[in-house]
Amino acid sequence: MEVLLLICIGLVVYTYLGYGLVVWALIKLRPKRQPVADLSADYTPDVTLIVPAYNELDCLQAKVENSLGQVYPRERIHFLFVTEGSTDGSDEWLRTTYGDAINILGGTERRGKVAAMNMAMQQIKTPIVIFTDANTQLNLDAVRNIVRHFRDPEVGAVAGEKRIQTTDSESAAGSGEGLYWKYESQLKRWDAELHTIVGAAGELFAVRTELYEPVSPNTILDDFMISLLIAGNGYRVAYEPDAYALERPSFSIIDEQKRKIRIAAGGFQSIVWLKKLLNPFRYGVLTFEYVSHRVMRWAVTPLCLPLILLLNLGLVLRDGWNSDWGWLLAAQLLFYGASWLGYLLEKRQLRWKAVFVPFYFTFMNVCALAGLVRYLRGNQSGTWEKVRRANAVNSLT
């Protein structure tokens, strides 16, 4: 039991701390990568901004104005809003309000986001396409900053940065989500510097149109699959933190729980569909990054955490509370106690930031286990699922 416990602890520590340290060390030890292209030079190819917008009428005006306000040559940027299946009047409102300023792909049948994206890509004539969600706001230099990476012919896709817009009075879920994405952003910087990032966030990412591979309409994490397929074909997925999408946290812990479980189910689906990337002899550094950053986060750590608790309990029952295992179990119980307190306070809308780190860490891993159950039961599809978000605060200008 001791050996198995230590192995599980080591896997968890490696996943959340060790991997980042290893990547940072590898970057410091190897010669600095010489850029293939001058990213500071002006580069403005034709580009299409695709905005999937299922029943997003309440945020469409802000999104359109934000899109039209991008600092990019107006004659070189095109806009395609995909309102397919919407029943809230989005289609008619966009056509009436903006006319020929934007293009609209509508329709009454709700096929799902992925099917709509695949259909939209058939209309694209520009060499680069950028995907962004309707409920996000981009910084006004986002398009210019993200597009410049395509001067490098080795770059097949570029991921922007997702930022969570929170206030001091936000819920634990919102605060925890913001901290998590700050941590994720740093890992993505290191991943990109070492080789490639492993998975783009759907809030903002771009691809070379010619490299886009249609994915199954039942794909849950379309952004992840599309970017990893490009990486698997030998191209790098670059990262641009100065192109960011600002998004509000989920409206409630229940909404966030639904979103996390769906993402986790999509993670297990992706692992199965992308099993070829688990071959280090073929994919090398990509496999190392993919397994360490994604597979272990989704499929290993969530299983290790309850096992650590059970093994620790067994050792304490065998050796007593006065053993070293007693201190470890006490620390675990204190951590999960703080997590439970954070959950109870959040349900009562009583917010205490001191417990949001253990709360959000535990919350993510519990949702991952629930996502595994959902995936094994086959209870997932690519149909759009609208998640309620907290009311917007000050928009980007």
359 lies in the same domain as 327: yes
Q: Do 123 and 218 reside in the same domain of the chain? A: yes
Q: Are residues 212 and 298 in the same domain?
A: no
Residue 386 in domain: no
Q: What is the pLDDT of residues 186-215, one digit of tens each?
A: 899 999 999 999 988 888 999 999 999 999
Q: What percent of the chain has pLDDT over 70?
A: 87
CA distance 107 to 133: 19
Is 110 in the same domain as 196? yes
Query: Do both 112 and 240 map to the same domain?
Result: yes
| Residue numbers of the domain that contains 93 | 36-249
pLDDT(113) > 90: no
Nearest Cα residue to 264 out of 376, 367, 113, 388: 367
Of 301-310, 331-340, 346-355, 379-388, the range with the lowest mean pLDDT is: 379-388
Q: Is the model's pLDDT at 162 over the cut of 50? A: yes
In sequence order, the 6+-apart residues with CB closer than 8 A to the CB of 197 are 159, 188, 191, 227, 237, 238, 239, 289
Question: Do 237 and 169 share a structural domain?
Answer: yes
Looking at the structure, tell me whether residues 125 and 81 fall in a common domain: yes
Whether residues 80 and 172 share a domain: the answer is yes
Question: What would the mean pLDDT of 258-270 be, rounded to a whole number?
Answer: 92
Residue 25 lies in a domain: no
Structure confidence at residue 343 as a pLDDT band (50, 70, 90): confident
> What mean pLDDT comes out for the span 142-159?
95
Spatial CA neighbour of 230 closest among 246, 249, 207, 247: 207
Here the CATH number for the domain that contains residue 228 is 3.90.550.10
Q: What is the mean pLDDT of the chain?
A: 87
Same domain, 86 and 186: yes
275 with 282: CB under 8 angstroms?
no
Beta strands at 77-82 and 47-52: parallel, antiparallel or unpaired: parallel
Q: Write the pLDDT tens digit of every residue in 221-253.
A: 999 999 999 999 999 999 999 999 988 766 567
Residues 308 and 193 placed together within one structural domain of the fold: no
Q: Is 144 among the domain residues?
A: yes
Residue 274 placed within a domain:
no
| pLDDT above 90 (res 32) | no
**Cβ 300 vs Cβ 16: under 8 Å:** no
Tally of structural domains, the chain? 2
When mean pLDDT is compared over 153-167, 288-302, 319-333, the highest value belongs to 288-302
270 inside domain: no
Q: How many CA atoms lie within 13 A of 299 on its CB side?
A: 16
pLDDT tens digits for 35-77?
A: 666 666 688 999 999 999 888 888 899 999 999 999 999 999 9
How far the first Cα of the chain sits from its last, in Å, is 57
The answer to whether residue 153 scores a pLDDT higher than 80 is: yes
Residues 352 and 226 occupy one common structural domain: no
pLDDT score recorded for residue 168:
53
Whole-number pLDDT of residue 351 = 67
How sure is the predictor about 175, in pLDDT bands with cuts at 50, 70 and 90? low
Residue 185 has pLDDT above 70, yes or no: yes
Mean pLDDT (whole number) for 162-172: 62
pLDDT at 368: 94
Domain-terminating residue out of 221, 249, 277: 249
In angstroms, the CA 157 to CA 236 distance is: 7
Are 317 and 191 members of one domain?
A: no
Last residue of a domain, one of 187, 222, 249: 249
Domain membership of residue 255 (yes or no) is no
**Which candidate, 338, 364, 333, 335, places its Cα nearest to that of 353?**
338
In a domain, 257, yes or no: no
In a domain, 168, yes or no: yes
The pLDDT score that the predictor gives to residue 143 is 96
Mean pLDDT of 298-308: 95
